[in-house]
Amino acid sequence: MGMVITAAATALPDRSAPASVVDLAGRAARGALARAQVPASSIGTLINVGVYREHNTFEPAMAALVQKEVGINLDYIADPEPAAGFSFDLMNGACGVLGAVQVGQALLDTGSTERLLITAADVHPGGDAQGDADYPYADLAGALLLERSADPDAGFGPVRHYTADRPTDVEGYLDTATMGRHGRTTITVRRRPDHAVRRAEFAERAAADYAREFGIDLDETLVIGPSTTADGLGAQGEPHTAAPVLGYLTAMDGARHDDHDHEDDHPVERAYDQFLFVSVGAGPSAACALYRPEGR
């Protein structure tokens, strides 16, 4: 049985208060649960993959706080069924969602859980990405609800990870030497001027390697890549860890390939039967996974 995406959702700050990872991830998670019409109690495992957090918070695990925010099986003694509820952080930068997909495949295959929820949220340490023109990422969250499908041809294929034999062109870190009293609300992100071009080239190589390994025709596949933008949501900056969720929703909401009718040369909408997720992050590293929606 394959592992399929039952529902997905994104969330943006409401701007009435500083952005919070826990709030955003919680709202995205509740949105996915509402779309799937399943209760929070049905989630066996929650994996949080966000990187940037308000006040540069790293402990306790954000996943535990998101689990509490969503209300996923908070008392496993009182409510042990249908799942006790387990959560943890998995940090792998922009490739975090696909890393969590890989872990989720193992958990679902072994029957360790029936439903798995992935949350990905990033916010500026100061709580407002729009107030920092030099910070490249959007305050944005995404969530994927995953479960097993009876259709063996649907769902995710193997996840593959790739590393490039060159220095990384992007770094995000807390500069402890200069942070001073504002260190809790600042972060340093350095990217080479040609970062976008290098990222696109690396993504293209990773997709080609994946397609070659698994015999995939990329002309018949919709690629969900790292160039997904959050402009349509009204967010400022690029999506970071939530980019695959946003890309998936864009694809499912009607992204089409423009073929041409040879008689009148008018574009013809064409739906794809399979997607290829491609993420690229610091390292530089990339991750790819084929996905076939149910019923396609």
* Residue 106, φ and ψ in degrees, nearest 5: -65, -40
Q: Is 76 left (phi over 0), alpha (psi -120 to 50) or beta?
A: alpha
Domains of the chain with bracketed CATH: 3-153 (3.40.47.10), 158-252+268-292 (3.40.47.10)
Q: What pLDDT is stored for residue 296 in this prediction? A: 67
DSSP summary character for residue 76:
T
DSSP summary character for residue 184:
G
Give the integer Cα–Cα distance in Å for 167 and 150.
43
Give the integer Cα–Cα distance in Å for 253 and 296.
14
**Sheet of 86-89, strand order:** 3-11, 140-148, 115-122, 45-48, 86-89
Dihedral sign computed on CA atoms, order 26, 121, 146, 248: positive
pLDDT by residue, tens only, the chain of 296 residues? 589 999 999 999 887 778 889 999 999 999 999 999 999 988 989 999 999 888 777 778 899 999 999 999 887 676 666 566 789 999 998 999 999 999 999 998 888 788 999 999 999 888 787 777 788 888 999 999 999 988 888 999 999 999 988 888 787 877 777 676 666 777 778 888 888 888 888 999 999 999 999 999 999 999 998 876 666 666 678 899 999 999 999 988 874 444 444 445 555 455 788 999 999 988 889 999 999 998 76
Burial class of residue 246 (count of CB atoms within 10 Å of its CB; 0-12, 13-18, 19+) = buried
What three-state secondary structure class fits 156? strand
Q: What pLDDT is stored for residue 259 in this prediction? A: 42
CB within 8 A of 26, min separation 6: which ones?
66, 69, 70
